[in-house]
Amino acid sequence: MEQSTHMRVAVYYNNNDIRIEERPIPKIGPGEILVKVMASGICGSDVLEWHRVKKGPRVLGHEITGVVADVGEGVKGHLLGARVFVSHHVPCNTCKYCKAGNHTACAVLHEGNYDPGGFSEFIRVPKINVENGIYVLPGNISFEKGTMLEPLACVLRGQKIADIEKGQTVLILGSGVSGLLHAQLAKIKLARVIVTDVNDYRLKIAEELGADEVVHVKAADENLNIKADRIIVCTSAPQAVQQAFNSIDRKGAILFFAVPNRSIEIPTADFWRNEITITSSYGAAPRDLDASLSILNGEYIKVKSLITHMLPLEEIQKGFQIAAEAKESLKVVLKP
């Protein structure tokens, strides 16, 4: 039987217009590999229409696992047939940012990607990604579970920046996938964890995963009657910004893991007088992905319960609707 030369891809125009199209399977060159995509997670950033629509039409998807279907000339190791997670953004490791350990500020990291995107049946992985961004999955990590490697790596980096430690009170605003990963990681570090959300379903999951306290924000007053040492903003809801500034303790730090679609206004008197730290976190470096793989392999954090929906590629529009509505759902994974 002759192998097909074409594949299906899901092309994003906007959140309500994602089209299944047919394209040629990418040709690989020296140092490159072809990966058959087995699972591809829908990230919260994928459904941020204001962030994504300006770059459409394009094939999104950056949380992928699959099987190496072909290797180009000069590819080292025995990758053919391997089960892998593929990092879409990789640093150059030679610029001043990389040399200082700030890999996520590397220009190369923000320029690169795989071709055409994770919401497709196959991807061509460029040489630099093959060299710096391939993670072979141990046998106990399924393709679906492996899609959580990048989200967890981003959380690991965020908590490193925020300096989460034992004994702190950590307030997490938003209990989607990232919020629940942050909650579990902070508990491992022996912090006291408080999680808020507008969604009772997600708060119940947060409680089951070990949060010390969960708060439905509609049932709370404006400042939650909480003073936290660290606050992690995991929602793009604009009111979360004010909530964070109302609830941060003196000498505390606010990490913007997610941001609203507007500029953030800082209460300068409190910021100055109380010596508040305001910081952000974007993406993950290779060392964060290495650490994430070790955590997933050791099953220190529960991620299987965070995957609530698995759908075929042709149902991607439904998947985006589920992810954007964020009702009784968490991570949606597509199975091309």
Domain boundaries defined on the chain: 6-148+303-335, 153-280
Domain 6-148+303-335 and domain 153-280, same fold? Reply is no
**Superfamily holding 153-280:** NAD(P)-binding Rossmann-like Domain (3.40.50.720)
Query: pLDDT tens track of the chain, all 336 residues?
Result: 456 899 999 999 999 999 999 999 999 999 999 999 999 999 988 988 878 888 889 999 999 999 999 999 999 888 999 999 999 999 999 999 999 999 999 999 988 899 999 999 999 999 999 999 999 999 999 999 999 999 999 999 999 999 999 999 999 999 999 999 999 999 999 999 999 999 999 999 999 999 999 999 875 555 578 999 999 999 999 999 999 999 999 999 999 999 988 899 999 999 999 999 999 999 999 999 999 999 999 999 999 999 999 999 999 999 999 999 988 999 999 999
Query: What residues contact residue 129 under an 8 Å CB cut-off, 6+ apart?
Result: 86, 87, 88, 90, 112, 114
**Per CATH, which fold does 6-148+303-335 belong to?**
Quinone Oxidoreductase; Chain A, domain 1 (3.90.180)
Contact 46, 320 (CB under 8 A): yes
Cα three-residue angle 197-198-201, rounded to 5 degrees: 85
Cα separation of 217 and 237, whole Å?
A: 12
DSSP state of 43: P
